[in-house]
């Protein structure tokens, strides 16, 4: 079954992005571009879910809709809202 998880993109002061998946706290990644960060978090989420399945742990339900949305902060607006994206697994 496919699940869809929201992810949060946070620009780094020195460049690139840190990206997390709130429904899967152990899934953390980064990338130099938004596309790279999203690809990397997809891999991290898939890896975390694989380990959870092997250990017999609960798989979180989908926490996002099947669409892609971005609100990416610029370096000058680091105090404003976080970026948001959706990753399907």
Q: Determine the Cα–Cα distance for residues 39 and 9; give it in Å rounded to an integer.
A: 12
What residue ranges do the domains of the chain occupy? 4-88
pLDDT along the chain (89 residues), means of 10: 86 93 95 94 95 95 68 48 49
Look at residue 88 in the predicted model and tell me its pLDDT: 55
Structural fold of domain 4-88: Double Stranded RNA Binding Domain (3.30.160)
pLDDT at 76: 47
- The per-residue pLDDT for 68 is 54
What letter would DSSP give residue 13?
T
**Per-residue burial over 7-45, b = 16 or more CB atoms within 10 Å of its CB, e = otherwise:** bbbbbeeeebbebbbebbeebebbbeebeebbebbbebb
Can you give the pLDDT at residue 69?
55
């Amino acid at each position: 079954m496919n699940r869809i998880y929201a992810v949060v993109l946070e620009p780094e002061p020195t460049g690139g992005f840190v990206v997390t998946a709130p429904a899967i706290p152990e899934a953390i990644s980064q990338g130099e571009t938004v596309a790279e960060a999203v690809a990397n978090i997809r891999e991290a989420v898939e890896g975390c879910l694989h380990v959870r399945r092997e250990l017999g742990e609960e798989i979180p339900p989908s926490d996002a809709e099947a669409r892609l949305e971005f609100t990416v902060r610029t370096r000058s607006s680091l105090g404003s809202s976080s970026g948001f994206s959706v990753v399907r697994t």
